[in-house]
């Protein structure tokens, strides 16, 4: 099977695959948006211990984390039109992409809800009590006190979830969506250069996930400005290029402090 290995094809496939990058990113973006909304909504009943809804959201998280994404994709693709037909909504003509985005959104939403839940739970109880004691309402305490602190804990985990989502989108081809993996399979079958096509595909994913990782780290730093400032003795030198100077200053200062202590 396949022709002799030719490294040149890896480079000729590169731009062709990058042309379908858009579809992959649409899936990632759409699913991410869905998952953040769904995850937040699902996390709320468990945070506030709402009787019946709490059980339901537990069940939701358990199901979507307990079954493979591939099976979920097919379940939704075949099942959702049937279920919606019962309430007289016809979605059999809806594009596949909608099902794919919905499924990835719900799948990732389960992970997002768990992340939000654990992040909020790890904020000290005393913080909420202190907020109440200065007369904040429940909503104010949540948005002003708990959420910023929870975000600090949740963001690194969420970046992992987003990167996992990017890699999971490679399965959308199984429903016939022409994203990068689907395109690479078509190219491979056309030219009979399978390995080159998949190496090219892997390289593109590698580049995207590295770029995405960098972007998320930048975002993380931006979101956590307040955290670093508290620990940083020289907030003026927060820029990376001043790192050396800052280190020199802090070392100088700590040495002086130690001498004074003696």
Partner 1 sequence: MKLDPSFIWEALVKLLPVIPTSLLITAVSVLCGFVIGTVAAFIRIYKVPVLHPIASAYVTFIRGTPMLTHLLIIYFGLPLMIDALSSQLGLGFRSASIPMIDFAFIAFSLTAGGYMSEVVRSGLLTVNRGQIEAAYAVGMTTPQAIRRIVFPQAMAASIPNLSNAVIGMLHASTLAFTVSVVELFAKAQIVASTNWKFFEAYLAAAIIFWGLTVLIERVAVFLEKRVNSYNRGGVA
**138 scored as a contact of partner 1 (CB under 8 A):** no
Q: How far is the CB of 72 from partner 1 (least distance, A)?
A: 7
**202 scored as a contact of partner 1 (CB under 8 A):** yes
Q: How far is the CB of 247 from partner 1 (least distance, A)?
A: 23
Query: How many other C-beta atoms lie within 10 A of the C-beta of residue 188?
Result: 20
Angstrom distance (rounded) from CA 154 to CA 157: 5
- Which residues lie closer than 8 Å to 152 by C-beta, 6 or more apart? 223, 224, 227
**8 scored as a contact of partner 1 (CB under 8 A):** no
Among 9, 101, 201, 237, binds partner 1 (CB under 8 A): 201
Of the ranges 11-19, 122-130, 193-201, 250-258, which one interacts with partner 1 (CB under 8 A)? 193-201
DSSP, collapsed to helix, strand or coil, labels residue 4 as coil
Tokens 């039109």 found at: 81
Residue span 38-77 as binding mask against partner 1, x where in contact by CB under 8 A, dash where not: ------------------------xx-xxxxxxxx-xx--
**153 scored as a contact of partner 1 (CB under 8 A):** no
The residue among 28, 36, 40 whose CA lies nearest residue 163 is 28
Q: How far is the CB of 25 from partner 1 (least distance, A)?
A: 15
**53 class by beta-carbon count within 10 Å (0-12 exposed, 13-18 middle, 19+ buried):** middle
**106 scored as a contact of partner 1 (CB under 8 A):** no
Q: With CB under 8 A, what is the number of residues at the site for partner 1? A: 36
Among 96, 147, 151, 199, binds partner 1 (CB under 8 A): 199
Q: How far is the CB of 126 from partner 1 (least distance, A)?
A: 22
Angstrom distance (rounded) from CA 125 to CA 178: 48
Angstrom distance (rounded) from CA 199 to CA 7: 10
Measured from the CB atom, is 80 or 120 closer to partner 1? 80
């Amino acid at each position: 099977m396949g022709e002799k290995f030719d490294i040149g094809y890896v480079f000729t496939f590169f731009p062709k695959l990058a042309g379908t990058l858009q579809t992959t990113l649409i899936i990632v973006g759409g699913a991410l948006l869905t998952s953040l909304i769904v995850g937040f909504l699902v996390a709320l009943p468990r945070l506030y211990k709402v009787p019946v809804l709490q059980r339901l959201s537990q069940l939701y998280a358990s199901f979507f984390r307990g079954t493979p994404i591939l099976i979920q994709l097919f379940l939704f693709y075949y099942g959702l039109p049937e279920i919606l037909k019962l309430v007289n909504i016809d979605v059999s003509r809806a594009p596949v992409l909608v099902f794919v985005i919905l499924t990835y959104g719900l799948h990732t939403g389960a992970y997002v809800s768990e992340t939000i839940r654990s992040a909020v739970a790890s904020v000290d109880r005393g913080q909420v009590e202190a907020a109440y004691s200065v007369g904040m309402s429940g909503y104010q305490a949540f948005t002003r006190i708990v959420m910023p602190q929870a975000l600090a804990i949740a963001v690194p985990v969420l970046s992992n979830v987003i990167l996992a989502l990017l890699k999971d989108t490679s399965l959308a081809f199984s429903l016939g969506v022409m994203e990068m993996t689907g395109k690479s399979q078509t190219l491979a079958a056309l030219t009979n250069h399978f390995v080159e096509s998949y190496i090219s595909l892997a390289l593109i994913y590698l580049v995207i996930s590295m770029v995405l990782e960098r972007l998320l780290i930048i975002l993380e730093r931006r979101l956590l400005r307040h955290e670093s400032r508290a620990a940083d003795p020289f907030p003026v030198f927060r820029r990376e290029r001043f790192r050396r100077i800052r280190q020199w200053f802090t070392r100088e200062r700590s040495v002086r402090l130690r001498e004074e202590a003696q």
